[in-house]
Structure 1
Amino acid sequence: MSRTRPMPALACDAHMHVYDAGFAHAGTLAGAATAHDYQHHFQKRVGTRRTVVVTPRPYGVDNAVTLDAIRKLGLAHTRGVAVLHPDVSDAELARLHAGGIRGVRFTLYTAARAAVGFDMVEPLAQRIQALGWHVQLHWTADQIVAHASLLRRLPSRIVFDHLGRLPMPQGTAHPAFAIVRGLLERGRTWMKLSGPYLDSRVADYADVATVARAWIAAAPERLVWGSDWPHVTETHDKPDDIRLAEALSDWVEDDATYQKVLVTTPAELYGFEPLHNNHKETKMMHSSHLGGLR
């Protein structure tokens, strides 16, 4: 049974995508999902305030749609993760940083239409280290095992997508769990508690809940939460955003860890202002009704 726990002030959705037909793209978009749509149909409903926009696959290495979404949602409360090639210029990296980009994503769980490759991970990690950016990895669990030595020598921060994509029913018994846990314990690595529907085999994500709780037990200070809105992988039965937020509330037992996952840790990872610097807005959000799930 799900429990409803109010979203804390300045809660962060650390993983979502914008699809805007106003920007060139390759392939077919699964319907429009603009920054305006997100603000009015997700944030107002779920109660989050901060956001991390991740450039989705159809746009390749063109991050204009992400930069535009950051501007529209507000740089004070929005960051982005880009898709890049290692030959990106220093000037372009500086422009992206000024626009709110704080990481580079490698979506390699399937080779179809991949804009990047495994050979690009280390060169880009070296390029972005001085900026304090991270590499964000959407890999299968088997890929994590196959590239464990690469992961251990990367100089930059590392963020794993979607609970590490541990397959069910193997879950934490998969060798990738121990590899990622070791990286979390060493520091400079984070896990996104996002996309439970990607590997779950049951309607309420109860099987994946075991994986989520294992990550929480292993490294509660190195976790962020993401909605994966607008759920383009789910073409027939879209997840309910409220249920996804409630799943996090189910996984996290104590309020202190809940605050870390939604506010403290994303503020540190993405460079948001600390909570104590936002007294005025915190008071305003507590006085509104946007902070509770409904």
Structure 2
Amino acid sequence: MKGGWDCHAHLFGPYGCYPLAADRSYTPPEAPVAQYLALLRGMGLSHGVLVQPSAYGEDHGLLFDILAAYPALRGVVVMRQGASKLLRGLRSKGVRAARFSHRPGAGANFRGSASFEDLLQMSGALADAGLHAELWTDCASLPAIAAQLKALPVPVVIDHMGGFDVTASPDDPGFRCLLALLEHGQAWVKLCLYRNVPGMTDLEAGRPFHDELVKANPQRLLWGSDWPHLRVNPQPDAAHLLQTFKHWVGDVGVIDSILTGNPESLYG
């Protein structure tokens, strides 16, 4: 689709120019911009949103260089509360958001990530800088923080469909909380399905959750490939994920909103 957006991807390397942080939770293979741009073209998309990987910590050299070179791309930074002043002027560089993690459990939040407490402390600075917040969390954690999310002075985009439990039903309280936030326009949600289906053995298992999100508020949904599909085996095919999304949604107008209209309003 001409003009369509992939709203979640990461770049790595070349490491000779852009080395990873010494203190990191994982070491991915290189995933350079040329490969990503080819992926976009192959999917018929023209815009992408690059999310700062935790393996780079707060070194945004690669992200900023790529945003300067490719105006069709946008960026999401990772910064902690002590760096609030650095948010000023990032919008002119192509940055649109800062990402935070709130995933309970030992090791769940990667080294180099920013916390939910960072988000609470930085939300005013984000608003002043014209940026929104992106949150990697899960449905089990949402009910406890929903009131705080509603009170934030910036839009919140929730990654990976809220990390729902595919073994539960869409009536699970955590997923219903996600739906309520979405339905009332109090959060955006990225439709990145495969991480919620272990082993990707049956994507159809995630369809009831996907359908509920589309029904709740398609004007607050975004689609993301999550390329290059880190720490996942087998790795998905991004084009297949996109076609699955289109098939499940069905309605051409809704597909166009999610792939083009919605991201244009948020990232354009």
TM-score (normalised: structure 2): 0.90
Q: Which consecutive residues of structure 1, in runs of 5 or more, have no partner in the other structure?
A: 1-7, 273-294
- Say whether the 8 Å CA contact 2:56–2:112 is kept in structure 1: no
Q: Which consecutive residues of structure 2, in runs of 5 or more, have no partner in the other structure?
A: none
* Residue from 65, 73, 87 that aligns with 1:78: 73
Q: Distance in 1 between matches of 2:63 and 2:222?
A: 20
* Residue from 28, 47, 51 that aligns with 1:50: 47
SS in 1 for 2:226: coil
The amino acid that maps onto 1:183 is L
| Residue 9 in structure 1 maps to residue 6 in structure 2 | no
Segments of 4+ in structure 1 off by > 3 A?
none
Residues 123-152 of structure 1 deviation map (CA, whole Å, 9 limit, x = unaligned): 211111133321111112222122222212
Q: 1:108 to 1:24 in 2, by over 3 A?
A: farther
The amino acid that maps onto 2:81 is P
* 1:125-274 → structure 2 map (5 Å cutoff): 125-194=123-192, 196-201=193-198, 202-234=200-232, 236-270=233-267, 272=268
- Say whether the 8 Å CA contact 1:66–1:80 is kept in structure 2: yes
CA drift of 1:112 comes to: 4.1
- Report percent identity of matched pairs: 28
| Residue 93 in structure 1 maps to residue 87 in structure 2 | yes
Higher RCO (CA < 8 A, seq sep 6+): 1
Which residue does the alignment assign to 1:39? 37
Q: Distance in 1 between matches of 2:129 and 2:110?
A: 30
| Residue 63 in structure 1 maps to residue 60 in structure 2 | yes
- Say whether the 8 Å CA contact 2:84–2:125 is kept in structure 1: no
Q: Distance in 2 between matches of 1:65 and 1:108?
A: 25
Q: 1:50 to 1:33 in 2, by over 3 A?
A: same
Q: Distance in 2 between matches of 1:116 and 1:61?
A: 9
Number of residue pairs the alignment of both structures matches? 258
How much is the aligned-residue C-alpha RMSD, in angstroms? Answer: 1.7
